[in-house]
Structure 1
Amino acid sequence: MNAGNTCPVPMNAADGVVVVGAGLAGLFTALKLAPLKVTVVSPVTIGEGASSIWAQAGIAAALSEGDTPEDHAADTVRAGAGIVGEAVALLMAREARSRIEDLLHYGVPFDKDLEGRLTFGHEAAHGTNRILHVKGDTAGRAIMSAITAAVRKTPSITVLEGVSARDLVVRSGRVQGVVLAPTGDVSQTDTFVLPARAVVLATGGAGHLYSVTTNPVEARGEGVAIAARAGAIIADAEFVQFHPTAIDIGRDPAPLATEALRGAGALLINGKGERFMRAVHEDAELGPRDVVARAVYREAASGRGAFLDCRLIGPGLAEQFPTVYSICRSAEIDPAQEPIPVAPAAHYHMGGILVDVRGRSTVDGLWACGEVTSTGAHGANRLASNSLLEAVVFGARVADDISMAMPPLPPQNLQAVTRGTVAVRPNKDSIRTLRETMSSKVGVVRDADGLSDALATIVSLERESGNDPQLANMLTTAKLIATSAFARTESRGAQFRSDYPAPDEAQASRSFLTLERADEIAREATGVSSPPRLRIVSQG
């Protein structure tokens, strides 16, 4: 394994599979593809920079006594506000046992009782205790540590660290390679192409398109953009989940106060010490995330402020939730003695590259898994702790599909005709403008005027972006989110339109969008046409 190799194309890379992304979905896919040759592309050292490692809650699985996959699927459907693919939700719930067994095999130390049996926690909108944790709030880090160690021990996996995907190479309607460039803040760099028999995008979410987010800086939505530019259909892009309890201490990204705290008895209060969720939803603090996020947003916008009161958890708080406790103490907050200030933050993108149950996109040669996709399992509002489950279930399915029918070799001259030079210095002012616009206009509460303003800003930034491929990719995904939100003239799940505050049963279906259609909607909303899109590689 060539860990840390950043420039030469790995020997015989074209014989195998390229997995772009080194979060849980990408690394699990690579492991499941063994012994096939796989090259994993990561902008940073594997095990870092992925949202998976930051997951505090856990992974949902119907394994406890009395629980069933059917009940898990039913809870998933209810949380998804009417547009979950029921067959997909059931498939995911039924395959949870096998994937948990895989994770245990890789050494994930899930919490157990004194008799060695797995223990299960409770989170919002789940009908029973079915969340597997690791030391309360360290599941993501523990899972990623185990999976990363397994990847480094697997001889069929080559890791390219310090490189980022900029584009896909499409020939005769099929993806046959990935355009890569070294990660970093430099003015010019040589791009190079990694040919591949199959490409798997597992690039994670899009939270860093927003100025307030729990996601790492690498979660910029670039995978959605490069897939859309290659012709892939994007589904449900308008549905961005805002976590209601990001810790509001001025950090970027915002640290997260896991939902498991509310499952353990923490309460939401305003600055007057009043609980406000009881008047909003029958499940109070354990209501659906979109409902809780909007309630927290309203309290903050009113000037009353919003706080998570963990004092009822008792003296075991530091031991039960060491990550949250440590973050709070670093900000001179003692969560055992005083409430934690919280605010909604962009957390998870339910939308993404449309894939089927095998992880196939609508473009030949391109598979995808994890948060970059839209499988239909989450609908308009992801059920807590289903994301890590989806990553491993569909990572395994992608690997199985590719293994069953290995695609043909790419052309031998692919690399030579696509090498080039591209500017990659991030335009920090434009990125700041984009993120602030997305938070203020395409955030927890939306309306037509705000969305039109956001699209006008995005189109203007596109005209000014020059040859910055990172910014171009961010703007593309932002446009897909904003145009989808503009086109859905109702409120459903994570999409709340103040000008259309009620759900419309005529729109109780998933949304599907191409980049060309997004350009048309943006033009209709703003009266301004988008500029020609930057392409690093011409398609043939």
Structure 2
Amino acid sequence: MQGTFEERRYLIPFRSSLLPQIFTDVLVVGAGVAGARAAIEAGAAGADVIVLAKDSIRQTNTAYAQGGIAGVLRDDDSIDAHFKDTLAAGAGLCDEPAVRLVVEQGPARIRELLEWGMQFDRDGSGELCVGREGGHRAFRVYHAFGDATGRELERCLFEKLMSTDNVRYFDECFALDLITPSDEVGAPVLGAITYHARFGLQMIWARTTILASGGAGQLYRETTNPKPATADGLAMAYRAGATVADMAFVQFHPTTLYLPGAGRSLISEAVRGEGAYLLDESENRFMLHEHEMAELAPRDVVARSIVRQLARQGGRHVWLDCRHIQGFASRFPGITAELKRFELDPSKDLIPVHPAAHYMIGGVRCDLEGKTDVPGLLVAGEVASTGLHGANRLASNSLLEGLVFGKITGAAAAETAAANGNRSGPVAVVSDIRPSDHGEIDLADVRSSLRSAMWRNVGIERAGGKLADAVEMLKFWARYTLDKIFDEPFGWETQNMLVVGSLVARSAAWREESRGAHTRVEYEGPVERFRVHDLRCRGEAEPRTLRVETEELV
């Protein structure tokens, strides 16, 4: 990415010496599953920890998660089976060591949650209830309060976090940028500059920074993500010189409630796991002809099949049929309540559904310890690219990844703190940005147009010409937005969305194949020369590539 997207290292002008200074061993940016689990681990090991939450814990992608946490706890399942299902969903781009690590450590993380008081659903005999979701060939998804797994997980982790010594929690605190001693790529991360409505700008200096800032769903007009999911962490890391990987891969959830004027409320994949059908306008099950697993095919297959079915029949939605599912209201109380708001009864009515942007598969590239190629910066959760998900995430592996890599990065950060002795003092950092004399365009219009352009041109099905146009549109908006200085989060978020939207569009234009969640209409399937991770870093005109070596046959 060249020109406008490369010119600015920081979003705002500042002199670090003139701002309030805060010091800690470990700074965790993000309070979802990965961030909370990392902070718990680091704090328990004796490190001083600060956790930043952009909003409240109720407005994280974790809290919005419905389905559950995948893991092997039953004798009729196996680690190897979970491993193979993950590889199959990932369509040839999974890094097998990352997959093996997560599925092997996952059961211990789930049992740990039980010890910490997470209220998983249980049957009449007290055994854990277990469900199945798309792409899984076994029942291994554990849920809470039917369809409120994320909310209960967030509660459990937050209570544990607040009872952990050495941890400070700052909510409604916006991280603008990661701090480095110079603008050169490779300079170490020393913390972050933050903004709080009450306390203003602050410098938070840390020996290690863990970026766990979540996803980017707000890049798209149609999304299941909460409003804070504006790709801030990805943009911050890119500006700080970290390598991002596989940015073309955005997962679209197949089933969100589609009603005019309503938000895109998620209808959990677990609903199809309980036997719900997808029907066309004639009320026929079209997925029977699309994949051997029908409605339980991997998400990329189902989302793409819905789009193509709509192209054949017309209209804006297909139907989800739950009428034959016994006890739907008790199994999915949250979804039932949401449907009731629109006078829909799942025991009697068909539910109109349509795909929406759900999960950012690409992210900041890291190793199996969460370490990036920038010293002092670790990543965990949705913002990271660990290689676990490949080209398409397997359902309910995201919360699992956050738990596993949260613990790993928290332990690594605490070890660094213990090894480094006394904290060093602050470094003089000056961001000198002059006011722009270029023309102005309305910021709200830019954001709205960006989200619409991403949905229409960088969505579920993509074409080379439209992708090229999307890249040019983003460049145009960036020319009159990234040159400006804003003093509030809406402006900073929009700038971040332009940076990351351009990364997604450029990666999608480069990847001339159809694989997993990335579908190019000109190409029918995967192309061997693209069985690589595409790696992008600030200042580099073209991506580097890293070949994926796969031993398993998938």
Same fold, TM exceeding 0.5? yes
What is the rounded CA distance, in whole Å, between the counterparts of 1:164 and 1:253 in structure 2?
A: 25
2:384 pairs, out of 373, 387, 406, with 373
Match of 1:326 among 311, 314, 337: 337
Aligned partners of 2:214 and 2:233 also within 8 Å = yes
Residue 531 of structure 2 corresponds to residue 508 of structure 1: yes
Check 1:204–1:171 CA distance in 2 against 1; reply closer, same or farther (3 A cut).
same
| 2:492 match | 469
1:311 aligns with 2:335: no
Which of 278, 297, 300 is residue 268 of structure 1 equivalent to? 278
The higher relative CO (CA closer than 8 Å, separation ≥ 6) is in 2
Structure 2 counterpart of 1:444, one-letter code: I
Q: Is residue 176 from structure 1 mapped to residue 190 from structure 2 by the alignment?
A: yes
Report the residue type matching 1:84 in the other structure: C
Partner of 2:446: 430
Q: CA deviation at 1:520?
A: 5.7
Q: Which residue does 2:471 correspond to in 1?
A: 455
How far does the alpha carbon of each residue in 1:460-512 deviate from its partner, in whole angstroms, 9 at most, with x for none? 11111122432221111111111111110000000000012221122122221
C-alpha contact 1:175 1:366 (8 A) present in aligned 2 = yes
**2:456 counterpart of 1:440:** yes
The aligned length equals 505
Q: Distance in 2 between matches of 1:290 and 1:278?
A: 16
* Cα distance in structure 2, aligned partners of 1:82 and 1:112: 36
For 1:351 and 1:252, the matched residues in 2 are separated by 28
Q: CA 1:211–1:62 in structure 2 vs 1: closer, same or farther (change >3 Å)?
A: same
Following superposition, the deviation at residue 416 of structure 1 comes to: 7.9
State yes or no: 1:19 paired with 2:32.
Answer: no
User: Equivalent residue for 1:89?
Assistant: 99
Are the counterparts in 2 of residues 492 and 502 from structure 1 also a CA contact under 8 Å?
A: yes
Mapped partners of 2:471, 2:243: distance in 1: 20
1:63 has 2:86 as partner = no
> Is residue 83–residue 100 contact of structure 2 (8 Å, CA) maintained in 1?
yes
Q: Deviations over 1:82-105 (max 9, x none)?
A: 010111111101101211122112
When normalised by structure 1's length, the TM-score is 0.89
Q: Which whole-Å CA distance do the structure 1 matches of 2:20 and 2:235 have between them?
A: 28
Q: Secondary structure at the match of 1:197?
A: strand
1:210 correspondence with 2:207? no
Aligned mates of 2:159, 2:24 — CA distance in 1: 25
Q: Deviations over 1:412-459 (max 9, x none)?
A: 244785799999x99211110110010000000001111111111110
| Structure 2 counterpart of 1:117, one-letter code | E
CA distance in 2, matches of 1:365, 1:21: 16
CA distance in 2, matches of 1:260, 1:182: 38
Amino acid corresponding to residue 485 of structure 1 in structure 2: A
| Change in CA separation of 1:138 and 1:146 when aligned onto 2, cut-off 3 Å | same
For 1:416 and 1:486, locate their aligned partners in 2 and report how far apart those are by CA, in whole Å. 36
Q: CA shift at 1:410, angstroms?
A: 6.3
CA distance in 1, matches of 2:202, 2:433: 7
1:353 aligns with 2:364: yes
Contact 1:235-1:513 at 8 Å conserved across structures: yes
The one of 416, 425, 429 aligned to 1:405: 416
Q: Which residue of 1 aligns with 2:4?
A: none
SS at match of 2:59: coil
* Displacement of 1:161: 1.3
Q: Distance in 1 between matches of 2:65 and 2:252?
A: 14
Q: Write the letter of the residue equivalent to 2:322.
A: C
**Distance (Å, rounded) in 1 between the aligned partners of 2:359 and 2:22:** 32
Please tell me whether residue 221 in structure 1 is matched to residue 231 in structure 2: yes
What residue identity is the alignment partner of 1:402?
A: A
Contact 2:34 2:406 in 1 (8 A): yes
Distance 1:325 1:458, change over 3 A: same
> Per the alignment, in what secondary structure is the counterpart of residue 533 of structure 2?
coil
Residue identity in the other structure for 1:310 = C
Q: Equivalents in 2 of 1:402, 1:10: separation in Å?
A: 25
Q: 2:192 & 2:91 partners in 1: Cα distance? A: 36
C-alpha separation in 1, matches of 2:342 and 2:200: 42
* Bigger mean CA offset, 367-376 vs 11-20: 11-20
Q: Does 1:191 align with 2:204?
A: no
Pairwise mapping of residues 276-295 of structure 1 onto structure 2 (< 5 A)? 276-295=286-305
The alpha-carbon distance between structure 1 residues 411 and 479, as it changes in their structure 2 partners (threshold 3 A), is farther
Structure 2 counterpart of 1:36, from 47, 58, 61: 47
Q: Structure 1 residues 168, 488: CA separation in 2 closer, same or farther (over 3 Å shift)?
A: same
TM-score of the pair, normalised by structure 2: 0.87
In angstroms, what is the RMSD of aligned CA positions? 2.4
Given that 1:311 and 1:337 are in contact with CA atoms closer than 8 Å, whether structure 2 keeps it comes out as: yes
Match of 1:159 in 2: 169
Q: Which runs of 5+ in 2 are unaligned?
A: 1-17, 486-490, 544-554
**Alpha-carbon offset, residue 41 of structure 1:** 0.7
1:102-113 mapped onto 2 (5 Å cutoff): 102-113=112-123
